[in-house]
Amino acid sequence: MKLIQILGTGCQKCKQLYANTEAAVKALGIEARIEKVEKIPEIMKYGVMTTPALVVDGKVKSAGKLLAPEDIQKLLN
């Protein structure tokens, strides 16, 4: 099972990235746990300076961009 984290303080783009990630996981039919990380100290542990960010299994895959579900699918494969 993959652990996918959405880093962001709760802005609209962060919420949309969460929804797009759910759609990507569903489309791929993979087992994953999706978490929101909203506390600044936790976000900073990943070295991310711009949000929203997408982290898969502890590795930052994207920062500062709102990815479409299709783009997220490519990162998850």
pLDDT in tens, 4-41: 999 999 899 999 999 999 999 999 999 999 999 999 99
pTM score, two decimals? Answer: 0.94
With b for 16 or more beta-carbon neighbours within 10 A and e for fewer, the 22-56 pattern comes to: bebbeeeeeebeeebbeeeeebeebebeebbbbbb
Quote the CATH superfamily of domain 2-76.
Glutaredoxin (3.40.30.10)
Q: Where are the domains of the chain?
A: 2-76
Q: With CA atoms as reference, report the closest residue to 55 among 30, 25, 41, 76.
A: 76
Q: Return the pLDDT at 77.
A: 87
- Whole-number average pLDDT of the chain: 96
